[in-house]
Amino acid sequence: MKSFGVRLRDAMGRHGPLCVGIDPHPPLLRSWGLTEDAEGLEAFAEICVEAFDGVVALVKPQVAFFEAYGSAGYAVLERTTDVLRRSGTLVLADAKRGDIGSTMSAYAQAWLGDGPLASDAVTVSPYLGFGALAPALELAELNRRGMFVLAATSNPEAAQLQRTRAADGRTIAQTMVDDAAAVNAGAEFGSVGVVVGATLTEAPDLSELNGPILMPGVGAQGGGPESIRALVPAASLNAVVPNVSREVLAAGPSVDAIRARVRELNDAFAFLQA
């Protein structure tokens, strides 16, 4: 099997660069006329699968919104992930896991192993130290999966940590990008991506990453083509994966309307694949 990075790049070439979220937060369930319980969650997920399967490059379920319903929510997440992956659609579990030692190994097995939650990639937090991600990095390499490392997020609280400078003068966010780039070195296209907010006013240097750049904050949160151009070197634009959720899901529950919005946004970001 090809590496996750190569499979993602191929999928972006076929379907456009978008990553679309499955974010069943309660107000959205209500606006779709669905109940705020596991049944409503399952109906929501089924609509999203029908709308996105074979249409977008990457689908990103937000794990927290499934976790809120306990074991029933996890069962919906398992079924959703399985249906998408079986049909060839790449799935990124937005779990933001990060820990040390055996606990990190257990998280890696959950999301990158062969269990019921196994996905093509997972989001991880490196702020216990990038080296603490080693168990997940090793399993991702073994199983040809991917990871997206939180590097420069757009929430204002992040600046206190991510913009602090290390002893060598680099920001902490830059060290995370550089560590990811070191893992990707020599690959055709690396499987260790980074998360960089599309609404930031400045971003780490991404020119040496050789991997995907997931950029949340597009659409309803204010990010768009111009903000991405301002943050990412021209030579790296073809690695950008704009992450849209609210902007697309607001068109639901009509599958046709959701797909139409996906097409519009793919057209808006077509310059990334030029």
Task: Measure the CA–CA gap between 93 and 111, rounded to whole angstroms.
Answer: 7
Buried b (16+ CB within 10 A) or exposed e, 27-44: ebbeebebeeebebbbbb
Tokens in use for 150? 């939180």
Q: Cα separations (Å) of 186 from 78, 112, 181, 191, 258?
A: 34, 22, 10, 12, 38
The closest of 44, 99, 89 to 253, measured between CA atoms, is 44
Task: Measure the CA–CA gap between 243 and 197, rounded to whole angstroms.
Answer: 10
Task: Measure the CA–CA gap between 197 and 194, rounded to whole angstroms.
Answer: 10
Task: Measure the CA–CA gap between 4 and 242, rounded to whole angstroms.
Answer: 17
Task: Measure the CA–CA gap between 260 and 226, rounded to whole angstroms.
Answer: 22
Q: Specify whether 2 is catalytic.
A: no
Catalytic-role residue among 25, 96, 163, 170: 96
| Active site residue ranges | 96
